[in-house]
């Protein structure tokens, strides 16, 4: 299975399934569970200071012998220092988000790290492929957290056609049907965030997980469209106030202040009224907290039957 898959071969992983590098949720514990189950576990560095990230990487190395990644959020005030940490620690795979990682690519390539940026447009995908990235993650606006403007359905095939590196699809994928659909669009792997938030190994506060389990198809909203940092979150007291101020034309600095610290508040402290419950649109489909290994096995076993059913129908 997946012996010929370009992403599995490049990264030496068993299944073409990445765990999204979620700030405050993508811990060593979650990443170890995903890597040990055959996927690619990823620490979400978010706004972590460098010493905290180093400790997290060391914890992950102690918990798995399998390949893993670190996601670097390029809007972090510590971006230069955390890049140095991943170089020092010889992290095998780095994914990036929320910006253009161009200036950091040479140092990462130098240590043999596979560099896989998240992109939300064809233009950035093409530019980064010219600078030598190993693959790209095409992330649709169905995703949770910081997002672009194009859906997975429209973005993935356009990026597949535009670049000559493997494409990993992200945004709105949480089961075998989503993986089969991503493969049909030309992706060679998938990245999932929402599905792993409601896993046993995810550290998210139970209030956060319970709200995700209760979500329906239309439960998320996009905040920050006027600030240049749009983010998908579950609708709650915070988003109602934020969107009201945004519609009244509140300045970006006031809106940015309203969002400060709110992801940690919801994810770790469980204040899901005043915090940001970042999650994707596929949260409407999440019914149950499951162990990571079960999530991955269920998806992997489900792919061929989905494709066979389509083939039957198309004969
Ligand atoms: O990065 C993400 N999702 C995130 S980061 C994050 S941390 C955060 N915390 C508090 C407030 C705001 C964010 C939460 N969720 N996904 C990857 C991603 N990258 N999605 C979209 C992009 C992206 C968008 C524009 C990448 C590059 C880009 O263009 C940059 C350029 O210079 O052209």
Domains defined for the chain, CATH in brackets: 11-203 (3.20.20.70), 206-282 (no CATH)
Q: Decide: 263 in ligand 1 pocket, CB within 6 A.
A: yes
Under the banding of pLDDT at 50, 70 and 90, the label for residue 36 is very high
Structure confidence at residue 203 (pLDDT): 98
CB–CB of 288/213 below 8 Å? yes
Structure confidence at residue 103 (pLDDT): 94
Which residue's C-alpha comes closest to atom 12 of ligand 1? 146
Average pLDDT, the chain: 97
Structure confidence at residue 242 (pLDDT): 98
Percent of the chain clearing pLDDT 70 (strictly above): 100
Structure confidence at residue 118 (pLDDT): 98
Structure confidence at residue 261 (pLDDT): 95
Structure confidence at residue 267 (pLDDT): 97
Which residue's C-alpha comes closest to atom 20 of ligand 1? 147
Under the banding of pLDDT at 50, 70 and 90, the label for residue 59 is very high
Which residue's C-alpha comes closest to atom 21 of ligand 1? 147
Q: Decide: 100 in ligand 1 pocket, CB within 6 A.
A: yes
Q: Provide long-range contacts, Cβ within 8 A and 24+ apart, for 147-150.
A: 147/120, 147/171, 147/222, 147/230, 147/231, 147/232, 148/120, 148/121, 149/120, 149/230, 150/120, 150/121
Percent of the chain clearing pLDDT 90 (strictly above): 100
Under the banding of pLDDT at 50, 70 and 90, the label for residue 18 is very high
Structure confidence at residue 75 (pLDDT): 95
* pLDDT one-digit tens code per residue, 180-220: 999 999 999 999 999 999 999 999 999 999 999 999 999 99
**How is residue 10 written in tokens?**
């490049």
* pLDDT one-digit tens code per residue, 101-159: 999 999 999 999 999 999 999 999 999 999 999 999 999 999 999 999 999 999 999 99
Structure confidence at residue 41 (pLDDT): 98
CB–CB of 28/60 below 8 Å? yes
* pLDDT one-digit tens code per residue, 6-16: 999 999 999 99
Element at 234 (helix H, strand E)? strand 231-234
Q: Decide: 146 in ligand 1 pocket, CB within 6 A.
A: yes
Alpha-carbon gap, residue 190 to 102, rounded angstroms: 23
Under the banding of pLDDT at 50, 70 and 90, the label for residue 42 is very high
């Amino acid at each position: 299975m997946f012996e010929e898959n370009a992403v599995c071969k490049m990264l030496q992983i068993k299944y073409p399934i990445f765990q999204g590098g979620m700030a405050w949720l993508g811990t060593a514990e979650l990443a170890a569970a995903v890597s040990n189950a055959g996927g690619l576990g990823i620490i979400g560095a978010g706004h972590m200071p460098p010493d905290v990230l180093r400790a997290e990487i060391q914890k992950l190395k102690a918990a798995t012998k399998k390949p893993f990644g670190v996601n670097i959020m390029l809007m972090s005030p510590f971006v230069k220092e955390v890049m140095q940490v991943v170089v020092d620690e010889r992290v095998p795979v780095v994914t990036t988000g929320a910006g253009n990682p161009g200036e950091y690519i040479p140092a990462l390539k130098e240590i043999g790290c596979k560099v896989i940026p998240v992109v939300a447009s064809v233009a950035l995908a093409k530019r980064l492929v010219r600078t030598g990235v190993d693959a790209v993650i095409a992330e649709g606006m169905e995703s949770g957290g910081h997002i672009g403007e194009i859906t997975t359905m429209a973005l993935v095939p356009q990026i597949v056609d535009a670049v000559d590196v493997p494409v990993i699809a992200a945004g709105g994928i949480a089961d075998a049907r989503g993986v089969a659909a991503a493969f049909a669009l030309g992706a060679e792997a998938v990245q999932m965030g929402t599905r792993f938030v409601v896993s046993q190994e995810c550290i998210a506060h139970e209030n956060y997980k319970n709200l995700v389990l209760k979500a329906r198809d239309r439960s998320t909203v996009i905040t920050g469209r006027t600030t240049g940092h749009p983010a998908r979150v579950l609708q709650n007291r915070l988003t109602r106030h934020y969107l009201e101020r945004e519609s009244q034309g509140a300045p970006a600095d006031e809106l940015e202040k309203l969002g400060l610290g709110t992801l940690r508040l919801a994810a770790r402290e469980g204040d899901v009224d005043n915090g940001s419950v970042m999650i994707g649109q596929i949260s409407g489909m999440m019914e149950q907290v499951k162990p990571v290994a079960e999530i991955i096995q269920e998806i992997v076993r489900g792919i061929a039957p989905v494709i066979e059913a389509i083939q039957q129908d198309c004969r």
